Amino acid sequence: MNFKEWFCLNGRESFTIDPKVSPGDARFYFGRHEIMKQIKGQVRRSFIDPGAPKMIIFGPYGCGKTQLLYHLEYLLKKEPPDTCRLNPHIVHLNIEMKSKSDHRHWHLQMMEALGKGTVTKWVENISRKTPNIEEELQNIFKDPNVSEAIRKLLIGGLEYTAWRWLCGQELSAKDLEQLKVTRNLGYIGAGDMAQALVSIGTLAEVNGEKLIFMIDEAERFAAVKSGDETHYLIDYLRELSEKSNKTVGFVIASTAYAMDELPQLFLSGAIRRAGRIGTDHYIDIPFLSAVTDVKVFLKELLRELVDQKLAEERIRNQSIEASLETYPFNSESFELLCQYATEDPQKALPSNLIHCLNECAISAWDERKPIIEPNIVNEIAPLVFG
């Protein structure tokens, strides 16, 4: 009997959760009920004003920020709030920053994550519905340069040059002439690029979609050392954070133990003031420091990952001394794991709990034990939480 069958796993090979590898895992987000209530409320209201979510989430490494981003995508697509009138178009991005990175690097990554194919498809859809594509694009894109570059996405031989321009890459005078644009995007400044992205958000809305970026690993913005580059990044985010941007939403996740440990970009008064990303839109994802929190997390996880019907039959047929609520632990081993997890509050994290659970289960399976016994927890837990 393999590991999956041994512990009655429900359509999975282990207790590991990873929505990047298994998209179905995005439906999971255990515990944290008050935080999820707060986030859902913020997201629901955001579609009324300013029109799209704009939020920063932060917490220690392993607290579940990435899982939360994917879970938000799941909720927006499967259970969208009644205030969301368009189909959410979610774009995931793991940001990369170096010491001299600025708004151009950020914009390029946003555009590449969105994808040339997606934007081209939106333009093609409009071209099939209107007899005058130029006029329609001019109505959507107030900047004639952006409108012209967008239109060139439909012209063979120029589509890749047009996309490079929209991504903010510097083009030669010859390329600019072919595109019939007067300058490179971003020549004026960071706001120039941000407004181009906001206009693409309007293009998405014309296609019945709401563009929302899920940006992870945002602690990498701390790698930017120059004050000038940081200022440009602030300008870019400030433009995206303005209430006038009703078309492009974003949820940004960063590792930080407290708000004041976030990269300088997110601490700027220009970003945190009301009307942009107010302080109430900074969401702290803390440790699971209380034993009760750990128990709730583990019980919810086991209820979803273990086939409850099969587990109940196995417990009954094999006279296993364990409750369905904590299977594959017995009561003693479950309590022991929760104690280990909370001895050091900074180790009480979902990632550590899942890792410990998986390692304990593997050890029990190796020893052909029907459940995880206390001696196994005593062997594995100190290595994870010590």
Q: What is the pLDDT of residue 289?
A: 85
Its sign, for the CA torsion 293, 298, 301, 307, is: negative
Instruction: Sort 373 into a burial class: Cβ within 10 Å, 0-12 / 13-18 / 19+.
Output: buried
The tens place of each residue's pLDDT in the chain, 386 residues long, gives: 899 999 999 999 999 999 999 999 999 999 999 999 999 999 999 999 999 999 999 999 999 999 999 999 999 999 999 999 999 999 999 999 999 999 999 999 999 999 999 999 999 999 998 888 889 999 999 899 999 999 999 998 999 999 999 999 999 999 999 999 999 999 989 999 999 999 999 999 999 999 999 999 999 999 999 889 999 999 999 999 999 999 999 999 999 999 999 999 999 999 998 778 988 999 999 999 899 999 999 999 999 999 999 999 999 999 999 999 999 999 999 999 999 999 998 999 999 999 999 999 999 999 999 999 999 999 999 999 98
DSSP assignment of 317-347 equals HTT-S--TTTTTB-HHHHHHHHHHHHHSGGG
Its sign, for the CA torsion 94, 98, 99, 105, is: negative
Select from 114, 170, 176, 115 the least CA-distant residue to 149: 176
Chain centre distance of CA 240: 17
Alpha helices in 152-263 (DSSP H): 159-166, 173-179, 190-206, 227-241
Contact between 212 and 173 under an 8 Å Cβ cutoff? The reply is: no
SS3 at position 144: helix
**Which residue type, as a one-letter code, is found at position 130?**
T
Between strands 248-255 and 54-59, the pairing is: parallel
The two tokens of residue 318 are 């094999």
Quote the DSSP letter at residue 254.
E
Going from N- to C-terminal start, the domains of the chain cover 3-15+288-385, 33-284
Q: What is the pTM assigned to this prediction?
A: 0.94
Instruction: Sort 229 into a burial class: Cβ within 10 Å, 0-12 / 13-18 / 19+.
Output: buried
Torsion of Cα atoms, 236 then 64 then 267 then 261, to 10°: -140
Taking CA 327 as the corner, what is the angle to CA 321 and CA 331, rounded to the nearest 5 degrees? 55
Q: What is the pLDDT of residue 386?
A: 87
**Which phi and psi (to 5°) does residue 55 adopt?**
-150, 145
SS3 at position 106: helix
CA of 380: how far to CAs of 8, 276, 301, 311, 361, in Å? 22, 46, 19, 23, 10
Q: What is the pLDDT of residue 275?
A: 77
Q: What is the pLDDT of residue 52?
A: 95
Q: What is the pLDDT of residue 328?
A: 97
CA–CA separation, 197 and 199 (whole Å): 5
CA of 212: how far to CAs of 40, 205, 252, 337, in Å? 15, 11, 11, 38
